[in-house]
Amino acid sequence: MAGCGVRWQYILGAALSGALLLTAGILLGHYAIYKEPQTPEWLHSLSRDLDPALLEDFMNQVEAARIGQNLKDLSSKPHMATTKGDEELVQLILKAWRDPQTGLDSAMEGQYEVFLSFPDPEKPNSVAVVMENGSQAFISQETEKNLTADQADRDVVKPYAAYAPPGNPKGKLVYANQGKMSDYEYLVQQGIDLNGTIAITRYGGAGRADKAINGAKFGVVGVVVYTDPGDINDGKASATETYPYSWYLPPSGVERGSYNSHFGDLLTPYYPAKGEEKRLLPDITGIPPIPTQPIGFEDAKTLICNLAGNPVAEAAWQGALGCVYHLGPGFRQDGLFPNSRLPSNMCPSIFAKFLLLPPLDRYVLYGNHRDSWVHGAIDPSSGTAVMLEISRVLGKMVKEGKWRPRRSIIFGSWGAEEFGLIGSTEYTEEFYSKLQQRSVAYINVDIAVFANATLRAQGTPPAQSVIFAAVKTPAADSSLSVYENWKQHFSRNSSVYGVIPSLGSLGAGSDYASFIHYLGITSMDIAYTYDRSKTSARIYPAYHTAFDTFHYAETFIDPGFTSHQTVARTAGNVLIRLADALILPLNVSDYGETLQQMYSVAREAFQADLTHHNISLDPLWAAINRFQAAAAGLNQRIANLREEANPSPLDVRMVNDQLMLLERAFLNPRAFPEKYYYSHVIMASRSSSLATFPGLADAYDNAKEDGLWGEVHKQLTIVIQVIENAASILEPVAE
């Protein structure tokens, strides 16, 4: 009942200074270096294939201890994008890539000026409960408790919701579960007036920004977000059950994060953010319209366990705070805050850096972001530690004259991923034609090791074959091959291959997003992850908190760094195959299986309604059949070419270009004009829960509501066109 004071602080720099730094290392491809007249020395080099001994050499040289040392160096200090810690890592990585013994051919950095969001270090945000008499009955903790010294580092950023607006809202507290639209609707159905309330929500279920965007639609004026121990800690909530005693998140841990549902620099969609003269200032969408603040579950418990309201929240809404969750609004009279109101927040400004330039005219791209929220030992330094070990071994092999790849390899250390994949997106915007015309594939290793149980790979279908080839050797610490272990953890029944490991599909969760969705470059993401029979944690518990430290990583995530080593070997093996195989190891036939699967789902779910509206799926089926036949035909031609002793370099190049450019044929930049960047008709994001063609599925859902079946027809046409277009890329060029 009584008013409650809340402090909102922010810095929204009016000037856009600072810059996003990215570093890149390049290993030049081979064939350009020979230029002999009479005796064409290139004759051999153009037809040689990948040497298995080389792969073995690489695998043997990857050292777990070096990865561990990399990780220690990378995560010794907090290194949010554009901070001093980040800039120090730029220098560390550049030094590695310029090392005379193990460096690459060149390494460089570049800058974009982008819009980032930082809190005021002097005025931490808070969520407070203020009594009717004006006294403050509760205030959220400024930051994590100092448990292992790392948390006391003065560069630890205090918890905030990046890109949320500043403000000082007051209102009664309600518990809104995960902040989904359906959650707010449920509260309204329970007779709760959400106008003017503050909603407390737990992470999960909806994107970070969506919790606030959804709430605002119902009149909510502020959002508090916390991590429920039921979602992250397998229910463990006490100090002695959590880090540093286990991998679980301590009660004071707060997940930071970007509350931005788009990717790329918000101020310059589609255009590289380079210099004031190019700033486009579009209407910014996809960020919270109301103040938002993340807190730890220790504080959340104080708030939620004192909520009033009947009935209690339904079973699915209950978490593991150790009390029965009520919905509110407001606190119960017999609790800690009988006459009080609530909440809190803060906000944003600026920057980071990045860049590279590409070499020989076929590129294999490998990247990871460099910036973290705090020390970021797992996210992202585990991936960077792996990348540095891969580049070290490859650099060494080249410096020793043992080898030079057929195609150029470009390593990228992207900036400001945490704020919305910004560095990698700006990079693709600046070099879109070059990358589209010349890139064979993009390999992303962000968090290399979530946990040390099994490989987890995601990618578009052509990535499956090269990843499978790379993992059919035993893992570092096991007699079981990575492949077999993976299959034991995640498998599926393929209509083509029988039971095989399940390759996941790519969303937009890391830097591969603009490569696949915007440029149509075959992409993949590789990591080690959980044994799901042992934990149901939404993600590793220290994620985006001040507890994601080297100590945490070496103690609980991957003692001995053997899983890191396995990821390094796997990703490096994939990289070498893509860079060095005479014929690209991408099996485009695997797209046929995916398309067929998507078709089956669509037919099962949509056929009846479509028929009712005179829309036939037959042409889609015909297009898929044509694609499958074209892919099979190409595979046959490739098999024939492999049998030739001295295939013409241009015959080889021709099939390689078909393999490389197939993914581009699935792009249609006009297919989803309302979705920034998403141009890949088969792999775009979707609202529908059905794993089928995204545009079709979403148009179908909409038509069920609004009756606009013309849009369904249009999206079906778009899918048919790209599949036929893709088929024509694979068909014999002289047919």
Q: Quick check: 32 binds a second copy (CB under 8 A)?
A: yes
Q: Quick check: 152 binds a second copy (CB under 8 A)?
A: no
Task: Answer for the pair 187, 174: CB distance below 8 angstroms, yes or no.
Answer: yes
C-alpha span between 479 and 498 (Å, rounded) = 23
Q: Quick check: 724 binds a second copy (CB under 8 A)?
A: yes
Catalytic, 417? Answer yes
With respect to a second copy, which residue has the nearer C-beta, 134 or 669? Answer: 669
Task: Answer for the pair 347, 258: CB distance below 8 angstroms, yes or no.
Answer: no
Q: Quick check: 275 binds a second copy (CB under 8 A)?
A: yes
Q: Quick check: 705 binds a second copy (CB under 8 A)?
A: no
Q: Quick check: 647 binds a second copy (CB under 8 A)?
A: yes
With respect to a second copy, which residue has the nearer C-beta, 290 or 729? Answer: 729
Q: Quick check: 657 binds a second copy (CB under 8 A)?
A: yes
Which of 254-262, 341-349, 393-401, 653-661 is the region at the interface with a second copy (rule: CB under 8 A)? 653-661
C-alpha span between 161 and 465 (Å, rounded) = 40
Of the candidate residues 38, 101, 333, 533, the single one contacting a second copy (CB under 8 A): 38
Collapsing DSSP to helix, strand or coil, 5 comes out as coil
Give, to the nearest 10 degrees, the angle between helix 589-612 and helix 694-706: 10
Which of 558-566, 570-578, 689-697, 726-734 is the region at the interface with a second copy (rule: CB under 8 A)? 726-734
Of the candidate residues 49, 56, 361, 400, the single one contacting a second copy (CB under 8 A): 361
- Report, in Å, the least distance between residue 458 CB and a second copy: 25
- Report, in Å, the least distance between residue 472 CB and a second copy: 31
Which of 34-42, 308-316, 333-341, 499-507 is the region at the interface with a second copy (rule: CB under 8 A)? 34-42
Note the Cα 301 to chain centre separation in Å: 30
Q: Quick check: 109 binds a second copy (CB under 8 A)?
A: no
Which of 177-185, 342-350, 426-434, 588-596 is the region at the interface with a second copy (rule: CB under 8 A)? 426-434
C-alpha span between 677 and 551 (Å, rounded) = 38
Given the residues 255, 417, 426, 724, the one annotated as active site: 417
Q: Quick check: 469 binds a second copy (CB under 8 A)?
A: no
Helix (H) or strand (E) holding 368: strand 363-369
What are the φ/ψ torsions at residue 521 (nearest 5 degrees)? -100, 130
Q: Quick check: 412 binds a second copy (CB under 8 A)?
A: no
- Report, in Å, the least distance between residue 611 CB and a second copy: 12
Q: Quick check: 122 binds a second copy (CB under 8 A)?
A: no
Helix, strand, coil percentages, rounded to 5, for the chain: 40, 15, 45
The sign of the torsion formed by the CA atoms of 175, 178, 179, 182 equals negative
With respect to a second copy, which residue has the nearer C-beta, 300 or 684? Answer: 684
With respect to a second copy, which residue has the nearer C-beta, 144 or 265? Answer: 265
Tokens linked to 514: 């603009």
Q: Quick check: 717 binds a second copy (CB under 8 A)?
A: yes
Closest C-alpha to 314, from 486, 183, 169:
183
Task: Answer for the pair 296, 144: CB distance below 8 angstroms, yes or no.
Answer: yes
Pick out residues in 601-630 that bind a second copy (CB under 8 A).
Answer: 615-616, 618-619
Tokens linked to 131: 């009594």
Q: Quick check: 3 binds a second copy (CB under 8 A)?
A: no
Name every residue whose Cβ is closer than 8 Å to that of residue 503 and which is 6 or more positions away in sequence.
Answer: 457, 458, 459, 461, 463, 464, 467
Of the candidate residues 127, 661, 690, 699, the single one contacting a second copy (CB under 8 A): 661
Pick out residues in 430-459 that bind a second copy (CB under 8 A).
Answer: 430-434, 437-438
Which of 244-252, 387-395, 454-462, 723-731 is the region at the interface with a second copy (rule: CB under 8 A)? 723-731
The sign of the torsion formed by the CA atoms of 271, 276, 282, 288 equals positive
- Report, in Å, the least distance between residue 414 CB and a second copy: 19
Cα→Cα distances 102→42, 578, 637, Å: 26, 21, 39
Query: Active-site positions?
Result: 417
